[in-house]
Amino acid sequence: MEKSDTGITTIKVTSPWPNANKSFVYALVPKEKLSIVTLNKDEYDAIVAVPVERIVSTSTTHIPALESLGVLDNLIGFPDTQYISSNAARKRIDGGQIQELGNNEQLNTEMLIAIQPDVVFGFGIDNQNTTYETIQQANIPVVYNGDWTEETPLGKAEWIKFFAPFFQLEKKADSIFNEIESSYKEAKILAKKANVKPSILSGAMYKDVWYLPGGNSWAAKFLEDANGNYLWSDKEETGSLSLSIESVLEIAQQANFWIAPSQYTSYQAMLKGNQHYAQFDAFKNKKVYTFSSTVGETGGILYYELAPNRPDLVLKDLIHILHPELLPNHQLFFFTPLN
């Protein structure tokens, strides 16, 4: 991100989706300078007049950043609104101030174009997105947010700085992120004081495959920073590993803790899903913790929405679980013991 002497901010998104071979460059021009600044449109994927007043967002991870910056009232449209957990956003949805725009796979472009946002904050899983092309043809800028491709907890949280220039709130974003970063680093230092490093299992079966975080993934990084021994930390994958239940049993049958067992919220449901879960010591000893029980009023899982923005809260949860003596007064925010 760069700001020129003329007040124009240039944002370059180099990783809009995993393994992308294309970057996107956006020019943010103060409204009072639109008539006096000449830009070569071919050099930019979008030119946006700022501050923006009416926006459409497409991922629940965008909501906490907008709320923290105090610009949630500028959000006028969102797909799949039932997944939003933020109380402030739900009030605006219930009041008809945030329009339901279908879902990300089949975004209602007619409705989106009709509400005329100043910008659409999108995300992509690849470079095949004809929906965004249709929106851009209607002279509505689309900008890609790549927060979900980040592989570190603080890396994701720092994307609040991506939103800030659209509202000319850079200093506020810096302040918010600095507080989160400081809180996270202090918790990480505290975790190192633990005398034991408990072993950790994660994930669960889906059909015949056990999916769990790769050793270089976002989720694994939390466990490492909480001073836990994640039993697949030596694997280089940044996404998920796909394993057999036999291989997981061989490595993790005696694991001390089981963190994030997929969608499960109770031991009974786990046994119904697969009787073999009962063979793990963490299951027998009731040391299984889930984030799937913490939901918004319409059932959206809060972790998916807020955890990328507040990694310090995730880390403190995990430290309290793994090393309760270090944070004895911490109230669990995302994670809860399985019912």
Whether cis (ω within 30° of 0) applies to the bond prior to 51 is: yes
C-alpha separations of 19 from 14, 126, 150, 214 in Å: 10, 9, 12, 17
Same domain, 326 and 194: yes
Q: Per the structure block, which two tokens stand in for 13?
A: 């998104």
Is pLDDT above 80 for 51? yes
Same domain, 100 and 234: no
Establish if 36 belongs to a structural domain.
yes
Is pLDDT above 90 for 41? no
> At which residue do the structure tokens 């633990």 appear?
194
Residue 49 CA to residue 117 CA, distance in Å, equals 12
Same domain, 126 and 206: no
Final residue belonging to a domain, choices 120, 145, 170:
145
Residue 117 CA to residue 109 CA, distance in Å, equals 12
Same domain, 108 and 255: no
Same domain, 118 and 231: no
Number of structural domains (the chain) is 2
Residue 322 CA to residue 335 CA, distance in Å, equals 12
Is pLDDT above 90 for 311? yes
State the CATH number of the domain containing residue 261: 3.40.50.1980
Establish if 173 belongs to a structural domain.
no
Final residue belonging to a domain, choices 145, 161, 194:
145
Q: Per the structure block, which two tokens stand in for 55?
A: 């926006």
Final residue belonging to a domain, choices 125, 145, 165:
145
Is pLDDT above 90 for 218? yes
pLDDT band at 213 (very low <50, low <70, confident <90, very high): very high
Establish if 167 belongs to a structural domain.
no
Same domain, 122 and 234: no
Same domain, 189 and 287: yes
Same domain, 90 and 223: no
Is pLDDT above 90 for 124? no
pLDDT of residue 128: 74
pLDDT (average), residues 226-249: 96
Same domain, 77 and 208: no
Give the end-to-end CA distance of the chain in Å, rounded to a whole number: 46
Establish if 155 belongs to a structural domain.
no
Tens digits of residue pLDDT in 8-37:
999 999 988 888 888 999 999 999 988 887
Residue 327 CA to residue 210 CA, distance in Å, equals 32
The answer to whether residues 290 and 264 touch, using CB atoms and an 8 Å cutoff, is yes
Residue 185 CA to residue 189 CA, distance in Å, equals 6
Domain range spanning residue 186? 180-337
Q: Per the structure block, which two tokens stand in for 175?
A: 């302040």
Establish if 152 belongs to a structural domain.
no
Establish if 276 belongs to a structural domain.
yes
Tens digits of residue pLDDT in 150-185:
889 999 999 999 999 999 999 999 999 999 999 999
Same domain, 122 and 199: no
pLDDT of residue 148: 85
Establish if 156 belongs to a structural domain.
no
- Higher per-residue confidence, 128 vs 267: 267
